[in-house]
Chain A
Amino acid sequence: MDDRNVAERAEHLSRRRARMLPVLAMLLLIQQGSFFTDHPGADRPVDQLKISAWLVLSAVILLALWTGGSWLQPKRVRELLNDEATQVHRTHAFRVAFLASMMGCIFLYFLTMFTRVETREAIHIILTIGLSAALISFGVSERRALRDHSGDG
């Protein structure tokens, strides 16, 4: 793949990633919602499967955010997809995620004063808040940077 093709491929994937990040956050939240609306104690095989799916999705998202993702792409495309501006956006996303997770912890602490919160529920909430915040923040930063393109080629 020559330099021009590498750049074009990275540009295309960068746009697709910016579009997919908020969708992924929404998917995570919907999956989370089903855990709380249909939560009989995780003793049926189907519940175990749902929890496993949620855990796998969360772990993959976390790993992708941490490493930059696009593992199946050639090294040069991956490097471009994770260039300086993207790294700054990712770092900012982790800061936002940390703040959101800490606020989630504070909220849960107060919630336990009024109602019983299971450990698993608390873990679900904090992990989902953190990952969703990171995905949304990263997506917004990327979309803003792409939108500001003057488009001169």
Chain B
Amino acid sequence: MAERLANRLKERRGALGLTQAELAQRVGVTRKTVNTVENGVFTPSTTLAIKLSRALGLTVEELFWIEN
């Protein structure tokens, strides 16, 4: 079965009251990139995954996990 990288980006971002644009600004990417990661369309690099986790105050494993 195909594996995909799931995340709780939207949920965590919402809890912190951040918009996609604000989160994008914090990690130095465009809103488009944050959106595609959030929707599972784009798998981020390790660097971006770490930056997103730090910006949202979680560990990478708490923010991302592999789903079958």
Q: Contact residues of A with B, CB < 8 Å? A: 3-4, 7, 10-11, 14, 79-81, 83-86, 88, 142, 144-146, 148-150, 152-153
- Among candidates A10, A88, A148, residue contacting B30 with C-beta atoms closer than 8 Å: A10
Residues of A within 8 A of B20 (CB): 149-150, 152-153
Other than A7-B25, A80-B30, give 14 A-B pairs with Cβ distance below 8 A: A7-B24, A7-B31, A80-B29, A83-B30, A85-B32, A86-B30, A145-B32, A145-B36, A145-B41, A146-B32, A148-B41, A150-B20, A150-B39, A152-B20
Residues of B within 8 A of A83 (CB): 28-30, 33
Residues of B within 8 A of A85 (CB): 29-30, 32-33, 36-37, 42
- Please tell me the number of chain B residues within 8 Å of chain A, measured between CB atoms: 22
User: What separation, in Å, do the CA atoms of A88 and B48 have in the docked complex?
Assistant: 13
- Among candidates B25, B29, B48, residue contacting A4 with C-beta atoms closer than 8 Å: B25
User: What separation, in Å, do the CA atoms of A63 and B14 have in the docked complex?
Assistant: 40
10 residue pairs bridging A and B, Cβ less than 8 Å apart: A4-B25, A80-B28, A81-B30, A83-B30, A85-B32, A85-B36, A88-B42, A145-B35, A145-B42, A149-B32
- Among candidates A4, A7, A80, A148, residue contacting B36 with C-beta atoms closer than 8 Å: A148
User: What separation, in Å, do the CA atoms of A42 and B25 have in the docked complex?
Assistant: 52
Distance in Å from the Cβ of B42 to the closest Cβ of chain A?
5
- Is B68 part of the binding interface, using a Cβ–Cβ cutoff of 8 Å? no
Residues of B within 8 A of A81 (CB): 30
